[in-house]
Structure 1
Amino acid sequence: MTVASADHSLETQKKTGAPVWDLPLRLFHWLFAGSVAAAWGLGKFGPDVMTLHFWFGYAVLALIAFRLIWGFIGSETARFSSFVYSPKTLFSYIAKLPKRQASNWKGHSPLGGLFVFLLLGVIGAQAALGLFADPEDYINVGPLASWAGIDSVRTALAWHGILARATLILVVLHVAAIFFYRLWKREDLVTPMIKGSRKAK
Protein backbone atom coordinates (compact mmCIF):
# COMPACT_ATOMS: atom_id res chain seq x y z
CA MET A 1 0.00 0.00 0.00
CA THR A 2 1.45 3.32 -1.03
CA VAL A 3 0.81 6.71 0.52
CA ALA A 4 -1.29 8.96 -1.69
CA SER A 5 0.69 11.92 -2.92
CA ALA A 6 0.42 15.12 -0.94
CA ASP A 7 0.33 16.91 -4.30
CA HIS A 8 -3.28 15.78 -4.68
CA SER A 9 -4.61 19.10 -3.44
CA LEU A 10 -8.24 20.07 -3.18
CA GLU A 11 -8.05 21.80 -6.55
CA THR A 12 -6.46 18.89 -8.42
CA GLN A 13 -8.95 16.41 -6.90
CA LYS A 14 -12.01 18.55 -7.66
CA LYS A 15 -14.19 16.72 -10.21
CA THR A 16 -17.82 17.79 -10.17
CA GLY A 17 -20.13 15.67 -12.26
CA ALA A 18 -17.55 12.89 -12.52
CA PRO A 19 -17.96 9.29 -11.28
CA VAL A 20 -17.05 8.94 -7.61
CA TRP A 21 -18.05 5.50 -6.31
CA ASP A 22 -18.39 2.26 -8.27
CA LEU A 23 -21.45 0.02 -7.93
CA PRO A 24 -19.84 -2.74 -5.81
CA LEU A 25 -18.61 -0.14 -3.31
CA ARG A 26 -22.03 1.50 -3.12
CA LEU A 27 -23.73 -1.85 -2.56
CA PHE A 28 -21.17 -2.68 0.12
CA HIS A 29 -21.79 0.64 1.87
CA TRP A 30 -25.55 0.24 2.20
CA LEU A 31 -25.48 -3.49 2.97
CA PHE A 32 -22.79 -2.86 5.57
CA ALA A 33 -24.76 -0.02 7.15
CA GLY A 34 -27.91 -2.13 7.26
CA SER A 35 -26.16 -5.20 8.65
CA VAL A 36 -24.33 -3.25 11.36
CA ALA A 37 -27.54 -1.46 12.38
CA ALA A 38 -29.49 -4.74 12.48
CA ALA A 39 -26.79 -6.60 14.43
CA TRP A 40 -26.43 -3.75 16.93
CA GLY A 41 -30.18 -3.32 17.37
CA LEU A 42 -30.81 -7.04 17.81
CA GLY A 43 -27.94 -7.30 20.26
CA LYS A 44 -29.27 -4.38 22.29
CA PHE A 45 -33.04 -4.81 22.04
CA GLY A 46 -33.58 -8.15 20.30
CA PRO A 47 -34.97 -11.44 21.62
CA ASP A 48 -33.10 -13.53 24.18
CA VAL A 49 -32.22 -16.07 21.50
CA MET A 50 -29.89 -14.06 19.26
CA THR A 51 -29.86 -16.23 16.15
CA LEU A 52 -30.55 -13.26 13.86
CA HIS A 53 -27.94 -11.19 15.69
CA PHE A 54 -25.37 -13.86 14.89
CA TRP A 55 -26.37 -14.04 11.23
CA PHE A 56 -26.10 -10.30 10.78
CA GLY A 57 -22.71 -10.50 12.51
CA TYR A 58 -21.59 -13.07 9.95
CA ALA A 59 -22.85 -10.76 7.20
CA VAL A 60 -20.78 -7.91 8.65
CA LEU A 61 -17.63 -10.07 8.63
CA ALA A 62 -18.31 -11.25 5.07
CA LEU A 63 -18.80 -7.66 3.90
CA ILE A 64 -15.58 -6.55 5.57
CA ALA A 65 -13.76 -9.42 3.84
CA PHE A 66 -15.15 -8.18 0.52
CA ARG A 67 -14.11 -4.60 1.32
CA LEU A 68 -10.56 -5.70 2.09
CA ILE A 69 -10.35 -7.45 -1.27
CA TRP A 70 -12.01 -4.57 -3.12
CA GLY A 71 -9.57 -2.21 -1.47
CA PHE A 72 -6.86 -3.70 -3.65
CA ILE A 73 -8.64 -4.63 -6.90
CA GLY A 74 -11.55 -2.17 -7.05
CA SER A 75 -11.84 1.11 -8.92
CA GLU A 76 -9.50 4.02 -8.19
CA THR A 77 -11.50 5.60 -5.38
CA ALA A 78 -12.21 2.21 -3.78
CA ARG A 79 -8.54 1.28 -3.43
CA PHE A 80 -6.88 1.84 -0.08
CA SER A 81 -3.87 3.36 -1.79
CA SER A 82 -6.08 6.25 -2.97
CA PHE A 83 -6.91 7.41 0.55
CA VAL A 84 -3.80 6.73 2.60
CA TYR A 85 -2.44 10.24 3.03
CA SER A 86 0.61 11.72 4.68
CA PRO A 87 0.17 13.53 8.04
CA LYS A 88 0.94 16.82 6.26
CA THR A 89 -1.98 16.34 3.85
CA LEU A 90 -4.28 15.25 6.67
CA PHE A 91 -3.51 18.26 8.86
CA SER A 92 -3.76 20.60 5.88
CA TYR A 93 -7.24 19.26 5.14
CA ILE A 94 -8.32 19.59 8.78
CA ALA A 95 -7.07 23.20 8.86
CA LYS A 96 -9.31 24.05 5.88
CA LEU A 97 -12.32 22.16 7.26
CA PRO A 98 -14.02 25.19 8.91
CA LYS A 99 -14.20 27.03 5.58
CA ARG A 100 -17.75 27.22 4.33
CA GLN A 101 -17.12 25.75 0.91
CA ALA A 102 -17.35 22.30 -0.59
CA SER A 103 -14.08 20.48 -1.08
CA ASN A 104 -15.54 18.07 -3.69
CA TRP A 105 -12.67 15.71 -2.99
CA LYS A 106 -12.47 12.86 -5.45
CA GLY A 107 -13.16 9.81 -3.32
CA HIS A 108 -12.36 9.76 0.38
CA SER A 109 -10.86 12.92 1.83
CA PRO A 110 -7.84 12.51 4.15
CA LEU A 111 -10.10 12.69 7.20
CA GLY A 112 -12.73 10.47 5.62
CA GLY A 113 -10.14 7.88 4.62
CA LEU A 114 -8.81 7.74 8.17
CA PHE A 115 -12.35 7.26 9.44
CA VAL A 116 -12.90 4.36 7.02
CA PHE A 117 -9.95 2.47 8.46
CA LEU A 118 -11.09 3.23 12.01
CA LEU A 119 -14.66 2.11 11.32
CA LEU A 120 -13.65 -1.10 9.58
CA GLY A 121 -11.13 -1.89 12.32
CA VAL A 122 -13.49 -1.32 15.26
CA ILE A 123 -16.51 -3.05 13.72
CA GLY A 124 -14.36 -5.89 12.37
CA ALA A 125 -12.81 -6.50 15.79
CA GLN A 126 -16.20 -6.25 17.50
CA ALA A 127 -17.79 -8.79 15.15
CA ALA A 128 -14.80 -11.14 15.32
CA LEU A 129 -14.84 -11.11 19.13
CA GLY A 130 -18.49 -12.12 18.98
CA LEU A 131 -17.41 -15.42 17.46
CA PHE A 132 -15.59 -16.27 20.70
CA ALA A 133 -18.03 -14.74 23.21
CA ASP A 134 -19.84 -16.95 25.70
CA PRO A 135 -22.42 -15.26 27.97
CA GLU A 136 -22.76 -18.56 29.87
CA ASP A 137 -26.47 -18.82 29.08
CA TYR A 138 -25.92 -22.03 27.05
CA ILE A 139 -27.80 -20.43 24.15
CA ASN A 140 -25.98 -17.47 22.62
CA VAL A 141 -22.54 -19.01 22.44
CA GLY A 142 -20.16 -17.87 19.73
CA PRO A 143 -19.29 -20.64 17.23
CA LEU A 144 -15.59 -20.48 18.15
CA ALA A 145 -16.02 -20.12 21.92
CA SER A 146 -15.16 -23.78 22.50
CA TRP A 147 -11.70 -23.14 21.04
CA ALA A 148 -10.84 -20.66 23.80
CA GLY A 149 -10.50 -20.90 27.55
CA ILE A 150 -13.01 -19.52 30.03
CA ASP A 151 -10.98 -16.37 30.69
CA SER A 152 -10.63 -15.72 26.97
CA VAL A 153 -14.34 -16.06 26.21
CA ARG A 154 -15.22 -13.75 29.10
CA THR A 155 -12.70 -11.19 27.84
CA ALA A 156 -14.12 -11.54 24.32
CA LEU A 157 -17.64 -10.95 25.65
CA ALA A 158 -16.56 -7.87 27.61
CA TRP A 159 -14.75 -6.32 24.65
CA HIS A 160 -17.63 -7.24 22.33
CA GLY A 161 -19.82 -4.99 24.47
CA ILE A 162 -17.23 -2.21 24.75
CA LEU A 163 -16.69 -2.09 21.00
CA ALA A 164 -20.46 -2.15 20.43
CA ARG A 165 -20.62 1.16 22.29
CA ALA A 166 -17.63 2.43 20.33
CA THR A 167 -19.45 1.46 17.11
CA LEU A 168 -22.47 3.52 18.14
CA ILE A 169 -20.22 6.54 18.78
CA LEU A 170 -18.57 6.15 15.37
CA VAL A 171 -21.91 5.84 13.60
CA VAL A 172 -23.19 8.99 15.33
CA LEU A 173 -20.01 10.83 14.29
CA HIS A 174 -20.46 9.58 10.72
CA VAL A 175 -24.04 10.86 10.53
CA ALA A 176 -23.01 14.15 12.19
CA ALA A 177 -20.26 14.59 9.59
CA ILE A 178 -22.78 14.09 6.78
CA PHE A 179 -24.97 16.85 8.22
CA PHE A 180 -21.95 19.11 8.79
CA TYR A 181 -20.85 18.80 5.17
CA ARG A 182 -24.41 19.26 3.89
CA LEU A 183 -25.43 22.21 6.05
CA TRP A 184 -22.13 24.02 6.57
CA LYS A 185 -20.00 23.20 3.53
CA ARG A 186 -22.94 22.81 1.12
CA GLU A 187 -21.60 19.43 0.03
CA ASP A 188 -23.88 16.44 -0.57
CA LEU A 189 -22.14 13.21 0.44
CA VAL A 190 -25.21 11.00 0.25
CA THR A 191 -26.24 11.32 -3.40
CA PRO A 192 -22.87 10.15 -4.80
CA MET A 193 -23.11 7.07 -2.58
CA ILE A 194 -26.49 6.34 -4.15
CA LYS A 195 -25.99 7.34 -7.78
CA GLY A 196 -22.23 6.92 -8.01
CA SER A 197 -21.45 10.39 -9.30
CA ARG A 198 -21.38 13.92 -7.97
CA LYS A 199 -23.90 16.39 -9.33
CA ALA A 200 -22.36 18.63 -11.97
CA LYS A 201 -22.30 22.34 -11.17
Structure 2
Amino acid sequence: MRKVRVWDLPTRLFHWLLAILVVAAYVTAQIGGSLIEWHGRVGIAITGLLAFRLVWGVIGSTYARFADFVPGPAHLWAHLRGHWSGLGHNPLGALSVLALLGVMLYQAVTGLFSNDEIAFSGPLRALVSSETSDWLSGLHRQNYWAIIVLVGLHVSAVLFYALFKKDNLLRPMVTGMKEVDEADAQPAQGGGALAFAIALAITAAVLYFATGSFIEPPPPPPPAAW
Protein backbone atom coordinates (compact mmCIF):
# COMPACT_ATOMS: atom_id res chain seq x y z
CA MET A 1 0.00 0.00 0.00
CA ARG A 2 1.18 3.51 -0.76
CA LYS A 3 -0.32 6.97 -0.45
CA VAL A 4 -1.26 8.87 -3.59
CA ARG A 5 -2.39 12.48 -3.86
CA VAL A 6 -6.00 12.46 -5.08
CA TRP A 7 -7.81 15.62 -3.97
CA ASP A 8 -6.18 19.03 -4.31
CA LEU A 9 -6.67 21.73 -1.68
CA PRO A 10 -9.22 23.82 -3.66
CA THR A 11 -11.44 20.76 -4.16
CA ARG A 12 -11.28 19.90 -0.47
CA LEU A 13 -12.01 23.47 0.61
CA PHE A 14 -14.95 23.59 -1.79
CA HIS A 15 -16.38 20.36 -0.37
CA TRP A 16 -16.27 21.43 3.29
CA LEU A 17 -17.25 25.05 2.72
CA LEU A 18 -20.26 23.94 0.69
CA ALA A 19 -21.29 21.52 3.44
CA ILE A 20 -21.08 24.32 6.05
CA LEU A 21 -22.96 26.81 3.88
CA VAL A 22 -25.74 24.33 3.03
CA VAL A 23 -26.33 23.78 6.75
CA ALA A 24 -26.29 27.54 7.32
CA ALA A 25 -28.78 28.08 4.48
CA TYR A 26 -31.09 25.45 5.94
CA VAL A 27 -30.95 26.91 9.47
CA THR A 28 -31.47 30.53 8.40
CA ALA A 29 -34.37 29.54 6.13
CA GLN A 30 -36.08 27.56 8.90
CA ILE A 31 -35.71 30.30 11.50
CA GLY A 32 -36.58 33.09 9.09
CA GLY A 33 -37.27 36.54 10.47
CA SER A 34 -34.23 38.79 10.48
CA LEU A 35 -32.04 35.81 9.51
CA ILE A 36 -33.58 35.75 6.03
CA GLU A 37 -31.06 38.43 5.04
CA TRP A 38 -28.28 36.08 6.11
CA HIS A 39 -29.97 33.33 4.14
CA GLY A 40 -29.58 35.52 1.07
CA ARG A 41 -25.91 36.19 1.82
CA VAL A 42 -25.26 32.48 2.28
CA GLY A 43 -26.99 31.82 -1.05
CA ILE A 44 -24.69 34.29 -2.81
CA ALA A 45 -21.66 32.61 -1.21
CA ILE A 46 -22.92 29.22 -2.43
CA THR A 47 -23.33 30.69 -5.93
CA GLY A 48 -19.68 31.75 -5.89
CA LEU A 49 -18.55 28.33 -4.65
CA LEU A 50 -20.50 26.56 -7.38
CA ALA A 51 -19.05 28.86 -10.04
CA PHE A 52 -15.57 28.07 -8.78
CA ARG A 53 -16.23 24.31 -8.82
CA LEU A 54 -17.59 24.39 -12.37
CA VAL A 55 -14.46 26.16 -13.57
CA TRP A 56 -12.21 23.93 -11.48
CA GLY A 57 -13.93 20.92 -13.03
CA VAL A 58 -12.38 22.00 -16.32
CA ILE A 59 -8.94 23.36 -15.36
CA GLY A 60 -8.33 21.81 -11.92
CA SER A 61 -6.17 18.82 -11.07
CA THR A 62 -6.70 15.35 -12.53
CA TYR A 63 -9.39 13.82 -10.33
CA ALA A 64 -11.29 17.09 -9.86
CA ARG A 65 -11.96 17.40 -13.60
CA PHE A 66 -15.33 16.39 -14.97
CA ALA A 67 -13.56 14.76 -17.91
CA ASP A 68 -11.97 12.32 -15.47
CA PHE A 69 -14.92 11.26 -13.36
CA VAL A 70 -18.11 11.75 -15.41
CA PRO A 71 -18.99 8.08 -16.05
CA GLY A 72 -19.96 6.53 -19.35
CA PRO A 73 -22.30 3.53 -19.55
CA ALA A 74 -19.38 1.07 -19.67
CA HIS A 75 -17.79 2.43 -16.49
CA LEU A 76 -21.15 2.51 -14.70
CA TRP A 77 -21.93 -1.08 -15.69
CA ALA A 78 -18.45 -2.24 -14.63
CA HIS A 79 -18.91 -0.57 -11.24
CA LEU A 80 -22.30 -2.21 -10.71
CA ARG A 81 -20.69 -5.60 -11.41
CA GLY A 82 -17.81 -4.84 -9.04
CA HIS A 83 -15.22 -4.65 -11.83
CA TRP A 84 -14.41 -0.93 -11.71
CA SER A 85 -11.18 0.30 -10.19
CA GLY A 86 -9.71 3.75 -10.12
CA LEU A 87 -9.01 6.83 -8.03
CA GLY A 88 -11.28 9.76 -7.40
CA HIS A 89 -15.05 9.38 -7.58
CA ASN A 90 -16.40 5.96 -8.54
CA PRO A 91 -19.12 6.06 -11.24
CA LEU A 92 -22.05 6.08 -8.79
CA GLY A 93 -20.31 8.66 -6.62
CA ALA A 94 -19.74 10.78 -9.71
CA LEU A 95 -23.46 10.69 -10.53
CA SER A 96 -24.19 11.76 -6.95
CA VAL A 97 -21.76 14.68 -7.23
CA LEU A 98 -23.25 15.81 -10.54
CA ALA A 99 -26.79 15.59 -9.15
CA LEU A 100 -25.85 17.62 -6.08
CA LEU A 101 -24.10 20.27 -8.17
CA GLY A 102 -27.16 20.45 -10.43
CA VAL A 103 -29.76 20.90 -7.70
CA MET A 104 -27.55 23.34 -5.78
CA LEU A 105 -26.99 25.44 -8.91
CA TYR A 106 -30.76 25.38 -9.58
CA GLN A 107 -31.39 26.49 -5.98
CA ALA A 108 -28.82 29.27 -6.13
CA VAL A 109 -30.06 30.72 -9.43
CA THR A 110 -33.74 30.69 -8.46
CA GLY A 111 -32.86 32.25 -5.11
CA LEU A 112 -31.20 35.24 -6.78
CA PHE A 113 -34.55 36.26 -8.30
CA SER A 114 -36.83 35.23 -5.43
CA ASN A 115 -38.71 37.08 -2.69
CA ASP A 116 -40.35 36.11 0.59
CA GLU A 117 -43.52 38.19 -0.04
CA ILE A 118 -42.67 40.33 3.00
CA ALA A 119 -39.43 42.29 3.04
CA PHE A 120 -36.72 40.19 1.38
CA SER A 121 -35.88 40.26 -2.31
CA GLY A 122 -33.05 38.48 -4.06
CA PRO A 123 -30.29 40.66 -5.52
CA LEU A 124 -31.53 40.14 -9.09
CA ARG A 125 -35.22 40.51 -8.28
CA ALA A 126 -35.38 43.86 -10.13
CA LEU A 127 -34.51 42.14 -13.44
CA VAL A 128 -37.77 40.17 -13.63
CA SER A 129 -41.47 40.84 -13.21
CA SER A 130 -43.34 40.23 -9.96
CA GLU A 131 -45.04 37.17 -11.48
CA THR A 132 -41.71 35.69 -12.58
CA SER A 133 -40.15 36.36 -9.18
CA ASP A 134 -43.08 34.65 -7.42
CA TRP A 135 -42.80 31.67 -9.79
CA LEU A 136 -39.05 31.34 -9.18
CA SER A 137 -39.63 31.70 -5.43
CA GLY A 138 -41.99 28.74 -5.57
CA LEU A 139 -39.44 26.66 -7.48
CA HIS A 140 -36.80 27.66 -4.95
CA ARG A 141 -38.92 26.42 -2.04
CA GLN A 142 -39.90 23.16 -3.78
CA ASN A 143 -36.31 22.28 -4.66
CA TYR A 144 -35.53 22.17 -0.93
CA TRP A 145 -36.80 18.59 -0.80
CA ALA A 146 -34.57 17.48 -3.67
CA ILE A 147 -31.56 18.83 -1.79
CA ILE A 148 -32.60 17.04 1.41
CA VAL A 149 -32.96 13.72 -0.44
CA LEU A 150 -29.65 13.98 -2.30
CA VAL A 151 -27.69 15.11 0.76
CA GLY A 152 -29.22 12.21 2.70
CA LEU A 153 -28.20 9.74 -0.01
CA HIS A 154 -24.71 11.23 -0.15
CA VAL A 155 -24.19 10.90 3.62
CA SER A 156 -25.69 7.39 3.61
CA ALA A 157 -23.29 6.29 0.86
CA VAL A 158 -20.30 7.59 2.84
CA LEU A 159 -21.48 5.69 5.93
CA PHE A 160 -22.10 2.53 3.87
CA TYR A 161 -18.58 2.56 2.46
CA ALA A 162 -17.08 3.21 5.90
CA LEU A 163 -19.07 0.52 7.75
CA PHE A 164 -19.45 -2.25 5.18
CA LYS A 165 -16.64 -1.79 2.67
CA LYS A 166 -14.10 -0.46 5.18
CA ASP A 167 -13.33 2.40 2.82
CA ASN A 168 -13.09 5.75 4.58
CA LEU A 169 -14.06 8.32 1.96
CA LEU A 170 -13.80 11.25 4.35
CA ARG A 171 -10.10 10.93 5.18
CA PRO A 172 -8.89 11.63 1.62
CA MET A 173 -11.23 14.63 1.47
CA VAL A 174 -9.45 15.97 4.57
CA THR A 175 -5.83 15.04 3.83
CA GLY A 176 -5.96 14.84 0.04
CA MET A 177 -4.15 11.48 0.14
CA LYS A 178 -5.52 7.98 -0.47
CA GLU A 179 -3.95 4.60 0.23
CA VAL A 180 -3.86 2.41 -2.88
CA ASP A 181 -2.32 -0.92 -3.82
CA GLU A 182 -2.24 -0.38 -7.58
CA ALA A 183 1.35 -0.01 -8.72
CA ASP A 184 0.35 2.14 -11.69
CA ALA A 185 -1.86 4.57 -9.71
CA GLN A 186 -0.91 8.10 -10.67
CA PRO A 187 -1.14 11.11 -8.32
CA ALA A 188 -3.25 14.09 -9.34
CA GLN A 189 -1.53 16.50 -11.69
CA GLY A 190 -2.30 20.07 -12.72
CA GLY A 191 -4.51 22.61 -11.02
CA GLY A 192 -1.62 24.92 -10.19
CA ALA A 193 -1.45 28.59 -9.25
CA LEU A 194 -2.39 29.89 -12.69
CA ALA A 195 -5.47 27.65 -12.91
CA PHE A 196 -6.46 28.72 -9.38
CA ALA A 197 -6.09 32.42 -10.28
CA ILE A 198 -8.25 31.96 -13.40
CA ALA A 199 -10.93 30.16 -11.38
CA LEU A 200 -10.92 32.93 -8.76
CA ALA A 201 -11.20 35.63 -11.44
CA ILE A 202 -14.20 33.95 -13.06
CA THR A 203 -15.75 33.41 -9.63
CA ALA A 204 -15.33 37.11 -8.84
CA ALA A 205 -17.10 38.01 -12.10
CA VAL A 206 -19.97 35.66 -11.26
CA LEU A 207 -20.29 37.15 -7.77
CA TYR A 208 -20.33 40.67 -9.25
CA PHE A 209 -23.33 39.64 -11.33
CA ALA A 210 -24.99 37.58 -8.58
CA THR A 211 -24.93 40.45 -6.09
CA GLY A 212 -26.65 42.74 -8.58
CA SER A 213 -23.81 45.27 -8.31
CA PHE A 214 -24.37 46.31 -11.92
CA ILE A 215 -28.01 47.28 -11.36
CA GLU A 216 -28.59 51.01 -11.11
CA PRO A 217 -30.31 51.96 -7.84
CA PRO A 218 -33.78 53.48 -8.19
CA PRO A 219 -33.91 57.29 -8.14
CA PRO A 220 -34.68 58.86 -4.77
CA PRO A 221 -38.31 59.83 -4.17
CA PRO A 222 -39.18 63.45 -4.87
CA PRO A 223 -39.14 65.77 -1.86
CA ALA A 224 -42.45 66.18 -0.11
CA ALA A 225 -44.35 69.32 -0.99
CA TRP A 226 -44.90 71.82 1.83
Q: TM-score, normalised by structure 1?
A: 0.84
Matched, 1:131 2:112: yes
- Are residue 54 (structure 1) and residue 37 (structure 2) matched? no
State which of 113, 117, 120 in structure 2 corresponds to 1:140: 120
Shift of 1:47: 3.2
Residue 96 of structure 1 and its aligned partner are, at CA, apart by 2.5
The equivalent of 2:81 in structure 1 is 95
Partner SS, residue 18 of structure 1: strand
In 2, the alpha carbon distance for the partners of 1:44 and 1:24 equals 30
2:16 is aligned to: 30
CA distance in 2, matches of 1:104, 1:140: 49
Larger Rg: 2
How many pairs were matched up?
Answer: 181
Q: RMSD across aligned C-alpha pairs, in angstroms?
A: 1.9
Q: Residue 191 of structure 1: SS of its match in structure 2? A: helix
Give the whole-Å Cα distance in 2 for the aligned partners of 1:199 and 1:45. 42
Tell me, in whole angstroms, the C-alpha distance in 2 between the residues paired with 1:44 and 1:93: 39
- Corresponding letter in the other structure for 1:162: Q
Alpha-carbon contact 1:104-1:187 (below 8 Å) kept: no
1:41 and 2:22 matched: no
Is the contact between residue 43 and residue 108 of structure 2 (CA under 8 Å) also seen in structure 1?
yes
Secondary structure at the counterpart of residue 116 of structure 2: coil
- AA aligned to 2:115 is D
Higher relative contact order (CA 8 A, sep 6+): 2
Task: Give the drift of 1:48.
Answer: 4.2
Contact 2:28 2:35 survives alignment (8 Å): no
The gaps in structure 2 that reach 5 residues or longer are 182-226
Q: Percent identity?
A: 40
Is 34-43 or 47-56 further displaced after alignment?
Answer: 47-56
**Partner residue of 2:5?**
19
